[in-house]
């Protein structure tokens, strides 16, 4: 299946928190969008791996994704090595996305920066035809995405560009709250975590308002890129 946009997240809910509005905007524009979760988030304090898989499926329906898969890498312990790179390369060659979104370049959780580096390295390697992979016995062709953007997560990082997601804000919050085991629930008796408080959801909204203000939007999502961004029409820049 050919996808236009493929978003990678180290954990289920990374994408919802950081770039789900952008994904919904792309879907509204007629693009096919998918998500690859690297791990099941099995080391999380709240919930379970099995529950988070169910929550990810529910969120995928809210977002309108064409595909969502989980690579079952080890939460907290996956590496940026050949074996893990090949797992990413196979997905890139299978879905052939033009745009890839990945975790923040650096962040509070160690999996985020490592996941960002893993996906970035795999995007490059996927374009090398002498690296051979197959899908169900059929040899895959080399494929390198046109662009790789890193969404911004917990730590503040200055964005290279932002996307107005005001129109999709309510559904973004709905997709986040599909992970009910992880976020604020006044009836929950589970242990508190840095993301389970009501204040954390306020933080998510405040960050989006901060990113939106420079472009005159109520809410925006921010991204970083390691290479210069090129445009064909300067009048399309906001």
Digit-by-digit pLDDT tens for the chain (238 residues) are 899 999 999 999 999 999 999 999 999 999 999 999 999 999 998 889 999 999 999 999 999 999 999 999 999 999 999 999 999 999 999 999 999 999 999 999 999 999 999 999 999 999 999 999 999 999 999 999 999 999 999 999 999 999 999 999 999 999 999 998 888 777 777 778 888 888 999 999 999 999 999 999 999 999 999 988 888 888 877 6
pLDDT of residue 175: 97
DSSP assigned state of 142: P
> Are the C-beta atoms of 85 and 122 separated by less than 8 Å?
yes
Position 106 in a domain: yes
* Residue 93 belongs to domain spanning: 5-226
Position 59 in a domain: yes
> Are the C-beta atoms of 43 and 75 separated by less than 8 Å?
yes
pLDDT of residue 49: 92
Position 136 in a domain: yes
pLDDT of residue 187: 72
Distance CA 215, CA 173 (A): 21
Q: What is each CA distance from 44 to 11, 177, 182, 193, in whole angstroms?
A: 10, 16, 8, 9
Position 98 in a domain: yes
Distance CA 166, CA 212 (A): 9
Distance CA 64, CA 46 (A): 26
Angle between helices 169-177 and 198-212 (to 10 degrees): 150
Residue 173, sorted as left (phi over 0), alpha (psi -120 to 50) or beta, turns out to be alpha
Distance CA 125, CA 103 (A): 18
Distance CA 134, CA 163 (A): 36
Task: Pick the closest to residue 21 from 235, 213, 211 (CA basis).
Answer: 211
Which token pair is 110? 């160690």
Distance CA 126, CA 147 (A): 13
> Are the C-beta atoms of 159 and 184 separated by less than 8 Å?
no
Number of domains into which the chain is organized: 1
Position 170 in a domain: yes
Position 235 in a domain: no
Position 54 in a domain: yes
Position 42 in a domain: yes
pLDDT of residue 32: 98
Distance CA 219, CA 144 (A): 31
pLDDT of residue 95: 98
Q: What is the CATH number of the domain that holds 176?
A: 3.40.50.10320
Distance CA 179, CA 58 (A): 8
Q: What is the pTM of this model?
A: 0.95
């Amino acid at each position: 299946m050919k996808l236009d946009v493929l978003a990678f997240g180290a954990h289920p809910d990374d994408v919802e928190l950081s770039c789900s509005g952008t994904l919904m905007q792309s879907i509204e524009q007629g693009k096919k969008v998918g998500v690859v979760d690297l791990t099941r988030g099995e080391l999380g304090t709240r919930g379970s791996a099995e529950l988070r898989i169910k929550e990810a499926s529910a969120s995928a329906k809210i977002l309108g994704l064409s595909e969502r898969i989980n690579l079952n890498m080890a939460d907290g312990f996956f590496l940026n090595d050949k074996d893990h790179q090949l797992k990413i390369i196979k997905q890139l060659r299978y879905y052939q996305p033009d745009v890839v979104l990945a975790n923040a370049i650096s962040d509070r959780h160690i999996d985020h920066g490592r996941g960002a580096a893993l996906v970035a390295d795999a995007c490059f390697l996927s374009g090398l035809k002498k690296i051979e992979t197959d899908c169900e016995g059929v040899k895959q062709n080399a494929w390198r995405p046109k662009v790789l953007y890193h969404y911004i997560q917990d730590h503040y990082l200055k964005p290279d560009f932002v996307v107005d997601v005001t129109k999709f804000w309510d559904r973004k919050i709905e997709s986040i709250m599909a992970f009910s085991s992880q976020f604020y629930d006044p009836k929950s008796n589970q242990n508190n975590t840095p993301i389970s408080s009501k204040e954390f959801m306020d933080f998510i909204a405040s960050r989006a308002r901060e990113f939106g203000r420079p472009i005159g939007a109520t809410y925006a999502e921010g991204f970083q890129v390691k290479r210069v961004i090129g445009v064909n029409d300067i009048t399309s820049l906001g």
